[in-house]
Amino acid sequence: MMCKIWAGMNNILNDFPILKRTVHGKRLVYLDNAATTQKPRAVIDALEYFYEHTNANIHRGIHTLAEEATLQYEKTRDETAQFFGASSREEIIFTKNATEALNLIACAYGRTFLKPGDEIIVSIAEHHANFVPWQQLAREIGAIVKVIDIDLEGRLCIHGTKNKEQRTKNKREVEIGCLESLITNRTRIIAISHASNVLGIVHDIAAVVALARPRGIIVAVDGTQAAPHMEINVGKLGVDFYACSSHKMLGPLGVGVLYGRREILNKCPPFITGGDMIKRVTLEKIEWNDLPWKFEAGTPDIAGVVAFGVALEYIRKVGWRLINQHEQALGAYALSQLIQLSGLTLYGPRSMEHRLGVFSFNFKGIHAHDLATILDEEGIAIRSGSHCAHPLMERLGVHATARASFYLYNTKEDVDALISGLMKARKMLG
């Protein structure tokens, strides 16, 4: 079965020009997809085409180029809305990255609607982009942050009333435990990632929404790691906000997406102010523009957005069925090979159930940075460090891990290269 999936891969490999380059004289084996993904030819061409044929500012010009640029930009919004199952195009806001999208939620919604003593729940597995904005917001308005813990496998504790524990951080008590036990009548927001950038676990958003919805709690999801790998339907998920980054899903750098439910976005004041987000401004008063432009102040990365549309089209053409099959099969193969290496500590589940091909590990007491450097000398790109997830690292009791993360253009040969690179590291430093 695996062979069949990989047989279709040659076409895909050919679509990614960068995969033809060498690093230190070796074939590039790119396994840092959780940091950013490579771009297919079509996306690179779209960027070039925009700057060669269309380049103009949007929403303001009458001339042909401005008209074309505006149409392409807004068409991408339609495609994005469709791609993520939003009920209308007004619910899609383009930002500069996922980080900005998450900050937008904390600032525009959080600052407006949260009061002192209100509670925000985040998970211990969050990337700093979905942790720090909430910590900061809580500090500003006197709200309280509570933290969802993980179980032994690394999965979030959703149900249950036990496992509640107090921890001291910066002299303040932070409550950490199962989501269900953390919810009170002061809980206003649950900010949670759809998938962990360290452990690769796909979190059970439906279960979170089931707890939150009846209580009127807002659910804000950081979908940065999930959106590249699985079909997302924000309507079906029932979430209020969903954020992700173009560059992690084959699109260009510099573009982020925020989905927000229209009723909520309508109530929020703008995040950044300036041009384009204003309907009318006089010396005395201002009238905000309509959704979604209210949240898109200033000139956006127009070429980036247009090329992001092409990335979405690419994903759609390959199809989720093929992507999921390939990634699951490849992930299972990588997992089986990794856990066979003696001295390798894998963080996160040892099965591909509700899991992506993101593998964090330590090996033989060799520091993750050394692993990354030795693998780089073999042309293999992995990530090492704390992955912008200090609370999770602390919880796992490690300073750094090595992380190999896969995408649709990776192959069985890439896994084999990783394994033999690790064996080389063991020989050198182990």
Ligand X SMILES: Cc1ncc(COP(=O)(O)O)c(C=O)c1O
107 assigned to active site: no
Q: Which is nearer to other proteins, 228 or 391 (CB)?
A: 391
The item of other proteins, ligand X, none sharing an interface with residue 368, based on CB under 5 to 8 Å by kind, is: other proteins
Partner whose binding site includes residue 394, from ligand X, other proteins, none (CB under 5 to 8 Å by kind) = none
Residue 37 binds to ligand X (criterion: CB under 6 A) = no
Closest approach of Cβ 355 to ligand X, in Å? Answer: 15
Report if residue 98 touches ligand X, rule: CB under 6 A.
yes
- State whether residue 420 is helix, strand or coil: helix
- 367 makes contact, choosing from ligand X, other proteins, none, with CB < 5 to 8 Å by partner type, with other proteins
- The residue assigned the tokens 């195009």 is 89
Residues in 169-208 at the binding interface with ligand X, rule: CB under 6 A: 193, 197
Nearer residue to other proteins within complex by CB, 273 or 386: 386
Binding residues with ligand X: total (CB under 6 A): 13
| Residue 139 CB contacts under 8 Å (≥ 6 apart), including other chains | none
Stretch that binds ligand X, among 71-79, 86-94, 106-114, 222-230 (CB under 6 A): 222-230
Query: How many Cβ atoms are within 10 Å of 278's Cβ, its own excluded?
Result: 16
Using the rule CB under 6 A, is 222 a contact of ligand X?
Answer: yes
Site for ligand X in 242-301 (CB under 6 A): 245
Neighbours of 75 (CB within 10 A): 14
Q: How many CA atoms, within 13 angstroms, populate the side-chain half-sphere of residue 100?
A: 17
Helices (H) and strands (E) in the chain, counts: 16, 19
Backbone angles phi, psi at 219, to 5 degrees: -110, 115
CB of 191 to other proteins, least distance (A): 24
Nearer CB in complex with ligand X: 34/208: 34
Q: Cα Rg for the chain, rounded, in angstroms? A: 22
Q: Nearest distance from residue 396's CB to ligand X, in Å? A: 16
CA quadruple 348, 339, 403, 36: dihedral positive or negative?
negative
Q: To the nearest whole angstrom, how small is the minimum distance from the Cβ of residue 121 to ligand X?
A: 17
Quote the least distance from Cβ 248 to ligand X, whole Å. 6
Name the amino acid, one letter, at 250. Answer: L
Among 187, 224, 384, 401, binds ligand X (CB under 6 A): 224
CB of 313 to ligand X, least distance (A): 21
Which structure tokens are listed for 411? 């192959």
Asked if 127 is part of the footprint of ligand X (rule: CB under 6 A), the reply reads yes
Piece of 94-102, 156-164, 231-239, 330-338 that binds ligand X (CB under 6 A): 94-102
Half-sphere exposure at residue 18, Cβ-oriented, CA atoms within 13 angstroms: 15
Q: Which of 76, 225, 384, 401 binds ligand X (CB under 6 A)?
A: 225
What CA–CA distance (Å, rounded) separates 259 from 392? 26
Q: Which residues bind other proteins (CB under 8 A)?
A: 366-370, 373-374, 377, 384-386, 398-400, 428-429
Stretch of residues binding ligand X (CB under 6 A), selected from 22-30, 57-65, 95-103, 401-409: 95-103
- Altogether, the residues listed in the chain come to a count of 430
Q: Which of 105, 129, 227, 307 binds ligand X (CB under 6 A)?
A: 129
Tokens of 403: 């992380």
Q: Give CA separation, 234 vs 60, 129, 185, 231, in Å.
A: 31, 20, 25, 10
Site string for ligand X, 310-349 (x = CB under 6 A): ----------------------------------------
| Per-residue b or e along 78-94, where b marks 16 or more CB atoms closer than 10 Å to that residue's CB | ebbbebbebeebbbbbb
Q: Which is nearer to other proteins, 182 or 374 (CB)?
A: 374
Tokens 């401004």 -> residue: 281
Closest approach, Cβ 307 to other proteins, in A, equals: 28
The pair of three-digit structure tokens given for residue 119, joined into one six-digit string:
């509670």
Write the CB contacts of 248 (distance below 8 Å, at least 6 apart in sequence).
33, 34, 35, 36, 37, 98, 224, 225, 227, 228
> Judged by CB under 6 A, which of 76, 80, 97, 360 binds ligand X?
97
Nearest to 302 by CA among 50, 104, 108, 113: 50
Task: Give the list of residues 6+ apart from residue 258 with CB closer than 8 angstroms, or none.
Answer: 92, 93, 94, 95, 101, 104, 105, 241, 242, 243, 295
Q: Which of 400, 403, 406 is nearest to 422 (CA)?
A: 403
Catalytic residue among 107, 157, 178, 388: 388
Near ligand X by CB under 6 A, which window of 14-22, 220-228, 295-303, 330-338?
Answer: 220-228
Interface region with ligand X, contact rule CB under 6 A, candidates 25-33, 38-46, 103-111, 221-229: 221-229
Which residues are tagged catalytic? 388
Residues that bind ligand X in the complex, under the rule CB under 6 A: 34, 97-99, 127, 129-130, 193, 197, 222, 224-225, 245
